[in-house]
Amino acid sequence: MKPIYKVTVQSDEFTKAASTAFDYKFEGESVFEGWEMPDVPKDFSIGLILGPSGSGKSLLLSQFGQEESPIWIQNKATVSHFETPEDAVDRLMAVGLNSIPSWCRPFHVLSNGEQFRANLARKLKNSAVIDEFTSVVDRNVAKAASVAMRRYVDRKGLKNIVLASCHYDILDWLRPDWYFDTVDGILHDGRSLQRPSIEIEIYPCKRSIWSMFAKHHYLTEKLAGGCRAYLAVATFYQDIFSLDEQPKTIVGFASTIPFPHGYIKNAYREHRTVVLPDFQGLGLGPKISDAVAQIHLDEGKRYFSRTAHPRFGAYRDRSKTWKRTSNNRKISRKTGYTDASKLQAWKIDSTRECFSHEYIGNPQK
């Protein structure tokens, strides 16, 4: 039997007018049903309470703990609200907020989706409780943030985080250890949930399309005039749809430029790779980058990348399809071409650590 909750409410002219207008009997007491604490595992990573509005989710969530509300200082950058700079980078990227320009803006000027991710980055810890999870953001942002959050929680080994949401579309993307549905009152095992597949297609495109992505690049809005440009389009598959009903969505942009070198012939290198903010956190950036690199490899070209982006660099350090070059993880910057041989020169500098790799493709092929 569900527990019954009663709350005493002060009667006044407003409650009288409202109850009289709609013929509602109100005697100064609000009565509603709740849910008993389900028999959840003692040790879990993520639990999820699902159900429509007004079904008792928040009341049940409160039995797991009190939700924290981060305080944001108006004249401080979003990135400045964490314990250390390293912690800030780790957490913001973990929830898919990968725009460095957005990091340097105060919280109150961020977009709705960015504010959701920034709040999530500060709330994530052991035994955190988060109500209305993804309720106020675009559904693409909701799915991307769910994937990013699950990855971060697993990587950090966080425990006993409980969320509440009215949106069922995040279930397969979040893959909680358990979920309690307030519609059927059943505690479900979520460990067998499978994340929907994403298919990426790469198309050559005009350089003018860069204007759609420029402001989202983590370092610069500039694009080389002679680059090769590519548009990334994704299909998000869901079990409830047939394959013919899947919409194709523009998610990213990539470009490459020739890589002149005295000893390396017929080579290109990565120039720009950008994923639109709504889709950051799904791991699309590396997939787009790899696909563009494979295009060049299939054309008989060698392909290189040099980046200061920590996630891209760390991914390639682990990947079997990328090979580290001698300049990998050195603090350096490109200084241009030598005036005589037109060779690309790299000079040691104290600016930032850069990752340097050559794409070699799948060694099993």
Domain ranges of the chain: 34-189, 198-359
The domain defined by 34-189 carries CATH number 3.40.50.300: yes
CA-based Rg of the chain, rounded to a whole angstrom? 25
Q: Which helix or strand (DSSP H or E) is residue 310 part of?
A: helix 310-318
Tell me the CATH architecture of domain 198-359: 3-Layer(aba) Sandwich (3.40)
Percent of the chain with pLDDT over 90: 58
Q: Which pLDDT band holds residue 348 (cuts at 50, 70, 90)?
A: very low
**CA–CA dist 266, 140 (Å, integer):** 39
The pLDDT of residue 245: 52
Q: What are the tens digits of pLDDT across the range 261-273?
A: 767 889 999 999 9
Q: What are the tens digits of pLDDT across the range 84-136?
A: 999 999 999 889 888 888 899 999 999 988 999 999 999 999 999 999 999 88
Q: Which helix or strand (DSSP H or E) is residue 335 part of?
A: strand 330-337
Q: Do the Cβ atoms of 289 and 311 come closer than 8 Å? A: no
Whether the per-residue pLDDT at 1 is higher than 50: the answer is: yes
Burial of 118 (0-12, 13-18, 19+ CB in 10 A): buried
Q: Which pLDDT band holds residue 353 (cuts at 50, 70, 90)?
A: confident
Our CA angle for 102, 105, 111, nearest 5°, is 60
Q: Which pLDDT band holds residue 289 (cuts at 50, 70, 90)?
A: very high
Q: What are the tens digits of pLDDT across the range 122-147?
A: 999 999 999 999 988 888 889 999 99
Burial of 200 (0-12, 13-18, 19+ CB in 10 A): middle
Give the predicted TM-score (pTM) of the model: 0.78
Longest dimension (CA), the chain: 91
For the residues 27-38, what does the mean pLDDT come to? 80
Please give the structure tokens belonging to residue 208: 């003018």
